[in-house]
Amino acid sequence: MNEILCSIHNYTKFSGYSTSFYDLAQSAIDCGLDAVITTDKNIYPYGHDQYYYRDGKKLLIICGEELFDPLSDTETHYLSLGIDQEQFNRKPGNLQNEIRVLLENDSGKINSPQFRHIELINAEIILEQGLSSWPGEVRKNIQQFDELLLTEQHYAGLAGTCRIDHTEKYSYSELLSTVCNHIISAEELNGDFIHDKMMILKCLKSGNLYMALDGLADAKGFRFSAEGSNQDQIAWPGDTIYLRNSITLKINIPEKCTCRLIRNGKVLREWQQCKQVPYTIYEPGYYRVECTLTIRRNFYDWIFSNPIFVVKG
């Protein structure tokens, strides 16, 4: 499987800030990213989706839009990804390729079929609160995420870069190097803009990714998969796998850490100072992984995977 580093929820000059698309691309290349999705406020900047190149490296920029009513304090903010036209003030529709990422966790709205993606972790919040633990706001998001998953609906979590009230307190180099979405894909980026854009959006829509605080330690190489007992099916975060006799979960981590396997919102197993875990399960449910690093006797939350859905079949 291939790993693609992607940042979402980024602003540019079209939101009234100083960052140009070129500058954003240069910062992302410096941070080792493969793709960035911009979400300017109530505007879709036509003609800015493209590849940027420098010193043999390339960075794909995909444009989306952040939607909100500036005259309402109660209106839900959300990101609209996978679009190719401005969405401001339109009524909720059913755009086939659209991904709606909820930014404000209003339980009454998140249970709507309009939302299946949630920004769980945000780089600015992490930088403001420190890396030692998920801030209370993030933990609240994760708790709500688990509650939603218990409804047996498929939800996906994402990590974002900027807050709604972004004021350029941090540079994009700081933000992009703090938190990232690590997309897991069977296909590679091949340099063709249309192919690569659609592949990334497809993976985001399916939730084929894990989120990590790469500012704490490089998480590249983490893998969480599920394999059927007859080895004819392999699932990754965001996928569904059918349980016949048993399923083997495999966790591979780039550094020794504390690893927690979560089933249906509760810790099923915890391993200390491990890098590799095979674990056989016999019950359906959703399974996800959290990893915590120990540095100078302090605990630091590090990796959060989207769930693998195990169903009877």
pLDDT for the residue 72: 66
pLDDT for the residue 76: 75
Judged by DSSP in three states, 177 sits in coil
Q: Which of 111, 142, 159, 110 is nearest to 267 (CA)?
A: 142
CA distance readout (Å), 225 to 1, 162, 208, 252, 289: 11, 30, 11, 9, 10
pLDDT in tens, 52-93: 999 999 999 999 998 877 666 666 788 999 887 766 555 544
Q: Which of 252, 303, 313 is nearest to 278 (CA)?
A: 252
Non-local (6+) Cβ contacts of 163 within 8 A are 122, 124, 125
The domains located in the chain, with CATH, are 1-215 (3.20.20.140), 218-313 (2.60.40)
Average of per-residue pLDDT values in the chain: 87
pLDDT for the residue 107: 45
Beta bridge pairs of residue 258: 292
CA distance readout (Å), 176 to 119, 122, 133, 162, 221: 15, 11, 19, 9, 18
pLDDT for the residue 132: 62
Least confidently predicted of 46-50, 166-170, 251-255: 166-170
Mean local confidence (pLDDT), 9-34: 91
Beta strands in 96-232 (DSSP E): 99-102, 117-122, 156-160, 180-185, 209-212, 223-228
pLDDT for the residue 4: 98
Judged by DSSP in three states, 287 sits in strand
String of b and e for 190-203 (b: at least 16 CB within 10 Å)? eeeeeebbebbbbb
pLDDT in tens, 170-220: 888 999 999 999 999 999 999 999 999 999 999 999 999 999 999 999 999
The whole model's pTM is what? 0.92
Gap between the terminal Cα atoms of the chain: 25
Q: Which of 273, 274, 283 is nearest to 312 (CA)?
A: 283
